[in-house]
């Protein structure tokens, strides 16, 4: 194996540049292909899946993590896959590029034969995902939002790479500039934290933006809603007019939320609340308002 010595246990991991040479690929921004090539970042990613293991300055020995069955989406040439195999009992990777999927099967033939690795060729939004314990993935940026919200409702820990701006909005607190629908929706399923900012130089070819690693820890929300689907559509609706008061946002977006009588919601809700804007409201307040809307607003289709 062409590799380098690991930082914690002398385990030899495949060199990212060597993997790309053997795969015969250079990466293509037009295809959303930016390969993570920084060994230090690659070494740290598996450890983020175990929150207590990332307190030190050095990467954790992957073999000490015992991650169970790991799902990796967007495996590329397998630089992260190699490390995940050391940290997990089993790894399933999803790769939509046919050439790269073929390369992964050849490069990791021994792991596949041993039953440690499964390569699923196809789009992560379409393939049937296996049961898994945690996902550690460098997501394709163009589909990162859709993939994240396919994974979040599954209630599993996630360690995902996003564009920095997206990651910060995902983890934002109420009242901040980054807080929005994404923050509330992600927080409906999990605690969300940005654990590392990753410079463009860590990728080849370099993207135009910085990236960030997000860790999500699944938990039930500290509020109740009558229907998850309605709650999420209600959020989508009012945040399309985040600069309007909630009074106007509820009235103007009934075509999105599905409310048959938005005026009834406005009239029944607290007047001070209706004078605020969406970016000022914490998730529990949205839940209370959505519950009221569900009760008096004549929502259709829920």
Average pLDDT over residues 125-138: 96
1 pLDDT band, cuts 50/70/90, is very low
Q: Measuring CA to CA, how many Å separate 258 from each of 45, 232, 270, 295?
A: 41, 12, 21, 13
Secondary structure letter of residue 108 according to DSSP: T
* 3 known member of a binding site: no
In angstroms, the CA 7 to CA 103 distance is 26
% of residues, the chain, pLDDT over 90: 84
49 Cβ contact partners less than 8 Å away, ≥ 6 residues apart:
65, 67, 70, 87, 134, 136, 157, 159, 215
154-209 pLDDT tens trace: 999 999 999 999 999 999 999 899 999 999 999 999 999 999 999 999 999 899 99
Q: Look at the chain and report how many structural domains it folds into.
A: 2
Neighbours of 54 (CB within 10 A): 18
Mean pLDDT across 117-127: 96
Same domain, 237 and 150: no
**Residue 223: inside a domain:** no
Binding residue per annotation — 146? no
Q: Is residue 23 part of a domain?
A: yes
Split at pLDDT 50, 70, 90, the class of 230 is very high
Q: Quick check: 132 pLDDT over 80?
A: yes
Is 34 labelled as part of a ligand binding site?
yes
In this structure, the answer to whether residues 261 and 137 fall within a common structural domain is: no
47 annotated as belonging to a binding site for a ligand: no
Judgement on whether residues 204 and 142 belong to the same structural domain of the protein: yes
Q: Does 291 lie in the same domain as 234? A: yes
In a domain, 108, yes or no: yes
pLDDT at 55: 57
Residue 234: which CATH number? Answer: 1.10.8
Q: Among 200, 218, 236, where does a domain finish?
A: 218
Q: Exposed e or buried b for every residue in 221-242, given b needs 16+ CB within 10 A? A: bebebeeeebbbbbbebbbebe
| Three-state DSSP state, 216 | strand
Q: How many residues can be counted in the chain?
A: 302
What does the alpha-carbon distance between residue 96 and residue 76 come to, in Å, rounded to a whole number? 9
Q: Give the confidence band of 2 by pLDDT, cuts at 50, 70, 90.
A: very low
Average pLDDT over residues 292-302: 90
d(CA 1, CA 15) in angstroms, rounded, equals 9
Instruction: Give me the pLDDT at residue 300, please.
Output: 84
284: pLDDT strictly greater than 50: yes
The confidence band for 3, taking pLDDT boundaries of 50, 70 and 90, is very low
Of 218, 236, 263, the residue at which a domain comes to its end is 218
pLDDT tens digits, one per residue of 80-111 = 999 999 999 999 999 999 999 999 999 999 99
Q: Looking at 187, 218, 249, which one is the last position of a domain? A: 218
- Does residue 280 fall inside a structural domain? yes
**What local confidence, expressed as pLDDT, does residue 8 receive?**
44
Do 234 and 125 lie in a common domain? Answer: no
The verdict on whether residue 138 carries a ligand-binding annotation is yes
Query: Which residue segment(s) compose the domain that 189 sits in?
Result: 3-218
251 and 196 together in one domain: no
Same domain for 136 and 198, yes or no, is: yes
Q: 256 and 205: one domain?
A: no
Q: Are 128 and 273 in a shared domain?
A: no
pLDDT score of 60 = 77
How high is the mean pLDDT of the chain?
91
d(CA 226, CA 77): 44
Q: Is residue 58 located within the same domain as residue 82?
A: yes
Give how far Cα 8 sits from Cα of 59, 114, 144, Å. 7, 25, 31
- Residue 30 is assigned to a ligand binding site: no
**Exposure letters 269-278 (e unless 16+ CB within 10 A, then b):** beeebbeebb
Note whether residue 196 is domain-resident: yes
Instruction: Indicate if 193 and 232 belong to the same structural domain.
Output: no
Share of the chain above pLDDT 70, in %: 94
Residues 6+ apart with CB under 8 A from 176: none
Asked if residue 301 is part of any domain, the answer here is no
Residue at 263 is within a domain:
yes
Give yes or no: residues 166 and 235 share one domain: no
Query: Which CATH number characterizes residue 113's domain?
Result: 3.40.50.150
Q: 183 in a domain, yes or no?
A: yes
- pLDDT confidence tier of residue 5, bands split at 50, 70 and 90: very low
Please write the tens of the pLDDT for every residue from 9-66.
556 899 999 999 999 998 777 777 789 999 999 999 999 999 876 555 567 777 788 8
pLDDT at 262 over 70: yes
């Amino acid at each position: 194996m062409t590799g380098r010595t690991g930082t914690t246990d002398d385990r030899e991991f495949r060199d990212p540049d060597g993997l790309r040479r053997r795969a015969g690929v250079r990466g293509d921004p037009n295809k959303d292909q930016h390969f993570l090539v920084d060994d230090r970042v690659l070494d740290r990613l598996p450890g983020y899946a175990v929150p207590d293991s990332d307190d030190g300055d050095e990467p954790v020995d992957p073999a000490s993590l015992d991650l169970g069955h790991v799902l990796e989406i967007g495996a590329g040439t397998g630089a992260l896959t190699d490390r995940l195999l050391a940290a997990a009992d089993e790894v399933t990777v999803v790769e939509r590029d046919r050439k790269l999927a073929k390369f992964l099967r050849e490069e990791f033939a021994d792991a596949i034969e041993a039953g440690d690795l499964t390569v699923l060729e196809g789009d992560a939004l379409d393939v049937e995902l296996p049961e898994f314990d945690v996902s550690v993935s460098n997501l394709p940026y163009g589909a990162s939002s859709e993939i994240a919200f396919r994974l979040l409702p599954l209630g599993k820990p996630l360690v995902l790479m996003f564009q920095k701006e997206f990651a910060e909005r995902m983890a934002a607190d109420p009242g901040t500039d980054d807080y929005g629908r994404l923050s509330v929706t992600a927080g409906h399923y999990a605690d969300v934290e940005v654990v590392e900012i990753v410079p463009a130089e860590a990728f080849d070819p370099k993207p135009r933006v910085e990236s960030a690693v997000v860790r999500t820890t699944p938990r039930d929300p500290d509020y109740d809603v009558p229907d998850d689907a309605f709650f999420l559509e209600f959020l989508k609706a009012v945040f399309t007019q985040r600069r309007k008061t909630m009074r106007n946002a509820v009235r103007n977006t009934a075509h999105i939320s599905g409310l048959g009588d938005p005026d009834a919601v406005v009239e029944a809700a607290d007047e001070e609340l209706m004078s605020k804007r969406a970016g000022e409201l914490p998730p529990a307040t949205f839940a209370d308002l959505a519950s009221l809307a569900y009760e008096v607003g004549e929502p259709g289709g829920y």
